[in-house]
Each structure stands twice: as C-alpha cells, then as structure tokens.
C-alpha cells in the first residue's frame, strides 16, 4: 500500500484531469475487468469468497486540488484560479508543475506594498514560468491548462510522511491494496473524479453501482498543532483512523458508525472520532443516489491538507487500511 501511495502522490491530476492517476490504477489491475464511465470514474468489481447480503461499495477520489490558468499577461505571467479549496496562504512562494514546466507562484514584492501585513489575495498572485513575454508563454501554456504543486514524497520525524495529494491518493492506495488481497465478500471499488469541485463523479458512480452500503475512504483535516486544544484539534496524527458521525455534506448512518467503532475496538485498531462538523466528501453524493445508500466515511488524519506539504502518520495509514478490511467483513454480514 505504501508503494502505491508514493507512486500515486507523484502523479498529477486536478479535478477533471485525472487521466494519469486513472491510467496508473488501470495498469495495476492485471486481468481484473473494469469500467470507465462518461465522467471518468473507474469502477472495478472485486470478487470475494461470497456475495454480501447487501451490495457493498468502497469509494475514493482520484483528483487533487490545483490551479487553472485563466489569462496570460503581457509580461508572460499566468493569472490563475484555484481548482478546489486552497487557502491563499498555502500558495505564495510554492513551486508548481504545468505542462511539464516548473513554475513559481509570486506576487508584488513586499517592499513595494502599502501594507505588508495583509496577505495577498489569489487574484493578486501569478504563476511565473520564466517566459519573457506573452508570446513566449503562449508557446507552452494555454488558458484552461492546469497546474499542481511540485512536491516530493518525504518521510521525516518518527513515522511522518510529507506529500501533495494525500487527499485522496491515500484512499486510492487502500483500494488498490484491497484489489490485491483476499476478501470475504464481493465489493465494488470506485475510483471517482471531481470530488474537489463538488462531488461530481461519485454521484454518477453510485447511480451506476446502486449500493446498499457505501464506505468512503478519505483524508481529513487534522488541526493538532501548536496552541490548539480540545475539540478544535478536529483529529490527531498518531491516534488512528478517523470516523465521522456528521459533516457539512452528510449525516452518517448511525449503525455503520457504531459498528465501525466496535470493530476497531474488538480488533485493537486505533480509531478516533472527528470532533468538528466540518468539510464533506463523496458520501454526500453517494447517499442520495438511486434509491439511497447507507454511508460511512473512514479518513486518514492529515495536517496541512490541500497544500504542497500535506502530512500524515504511517501508523494511522496502517490502522485505517486494516479497519477498512475488517469493515468489509462486518458490513457484508449486515441485513
């Protein structure tokens, strides 16, 4: 799973441009049949030892946050908008890749601003690819081209890992690991598109699969940093997989939530509860699809999410992956 994760995080795939990620996943399927739908979702049927009592779906999204070029300025600088939610503080001074080119995100020098205490807004920044003017830049970049953070996968400290796109290449790595493992029940694995711009792909995938129970594998915001205490931490690195009872897109199935907590405790798998009603994920689109599905989200706690330096803990990854496999067994037995 860790090798899958490293390979996936090094790939680039903003919302609507997930082809490189999808192609890599397909390359790992071998002779397992799959379907790619009109929105680019990759749907794979994983055969287990028997059929579950209710149809099971596991979902992870392939896209990552990034940038899209909106205009090429006369001096060759690229104006951009964000694809997905990125805090402007996570942009300034960062390296990006666009059409294979290296660029840097800049703004007016602090020495020439009237108030150097104000953080520049997104529309006051630009991507510099080293072009001398608009004509040269236009040879390499067009409006609508996308850019992603340039970021290596780097282990550091005691079990920490830094990378871009942990949200949600972690979930994709877990699903790939499940594909290579023996499972007690059949399960449909969905690698979905365009989560970061409004859960677009997952709704279409769920309408096709028509699951009774769906488990979404995600990454979620950890705020366990200096001077933050109590519930404001949301979740903590090193405390295990994150289970949510509600977020801004979904009220999760109470029985699935309780079952997951019980299974984690019975199997000695570290798990924690998300302590803020915040964020959302593909469960919000899967839940109402078709005739409706019972849903649960299981997430990796991640610091500095939606940035070039997303940080997670490898023990949390192992605990989350182990819990997913146990839940396939538990959910497969449900009436």
Catalytic sites, residue numbers = 195
**Residues forming a β-bridge with 82:** 67
The Cα–Cα gap between 133 and 271 comes to 53
Q: Can you spell out the DSSP letters for 259-281?
A: HHHHHHHHTT--EEE--S-----
In this structure, are residues 101 and 215 in contact, taking their beta carbons and an 8 Å threshold? no
Pick from 313, 311, 318: nearest CA to 163: 311
Tokens 């795939």 belong to residue? 13
CB environment 222-252: b (16+ within 10 A), e (fewer):
bbbeeeeeeeebbbbbbbbbbbbbebebbeb
The Cα–Cα gap between 141 and 263 comes to 51
Distances in Å between the Cα of 287 and the Cα atoms of 45, 95, 300 are 20, 37, 21
Pick from 185, 214, 178: nearest CA to 333: 185
Which three-class secondary structure state does DSSP give residue 333? coil
The Cα–Cα gap between 56 and 327 comes to 10
Q: Strands 66-72 and 78-83: what pairing?
A: antiparallel
Enumerate residues 6+ apart whose C-beta is below 8 A from 228.
none
In this structure, are residues 210 and 59 in contact, taking their beta carbons and an 8 Å threshold? no
The continuous run of DSSP H or E covering 202 comes out as helix 200-209
Q: What is the DSSP letter of 111?
A: G
In this structure, are residues 213 and 334 in contact, taking their beta carbons and an 8 Å threshold? yes
């Amino acid at each position: 799973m860790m090798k899958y994760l490293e390979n996936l995080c090094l790939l680039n795939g903003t919302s609507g441009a997930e082809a490189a990620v999808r192609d890599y996943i397909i390359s790992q399927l071998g002779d397992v049949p799959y379907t790619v739908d009109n929105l680019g979702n990759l749907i794979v049927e994983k055969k287990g030892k028997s059929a579950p009592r209710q149809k099971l779906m596991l979902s992870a999204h392939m896209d990552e946050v990034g940038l899209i070029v909106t205009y090429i300025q006369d001096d060759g600088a690229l104006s951009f908008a964000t694809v997905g939610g990125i805090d402007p503080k996570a942009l300034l001074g960062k390296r990006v890749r666009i059409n294979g080119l290296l660029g840097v995100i800049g703004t007016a020098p602090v020495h020439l601003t009237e108030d150097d205490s104000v953080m520049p807004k997104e529309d006051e920044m630009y991507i510099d690819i080293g072009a001398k003017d608009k004509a040269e830049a236009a040879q390499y970049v067009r409006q609508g081209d996308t850019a992603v953070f340039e970021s290596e996968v780097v282990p550091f400290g005691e079990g920490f890992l830094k990378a871009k796109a942990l949200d949600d290449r972690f979930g994709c790595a877990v699903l790939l690991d499940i594909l290579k493992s023996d499972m007690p029940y059949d399960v449909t694995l969905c690698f979905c598109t365009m989560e970061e711009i409004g859960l677009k792909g997952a709704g279409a995938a769920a309408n096709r699969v028509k699951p009774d129970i769906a488990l979404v594998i995600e990454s979620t915001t950890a705020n366990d940093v200096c001077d933050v205490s109590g519930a404001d931490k949301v979740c903590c690195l090193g405390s295990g997989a994150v289970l949510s009872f509600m977020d801004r897109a979904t009220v999760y199935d109470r029985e699935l939530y309780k079952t997951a907590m019980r299974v984690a405790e019975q199997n000695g798998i570290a798990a924690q509860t998300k302590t803020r009603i915040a964020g959302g994920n593909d469960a919000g689109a899967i839940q109402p699809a078709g005739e409706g599905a019972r849903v649960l989200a299981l997430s990796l706690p991640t610091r500095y999410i939606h940035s070039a330096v997303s940080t997670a803990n490898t023990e949390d990854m192992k605990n989350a992956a182990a819990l997913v496999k146990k839940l396939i067994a538990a959910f497969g037995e449900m009436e």
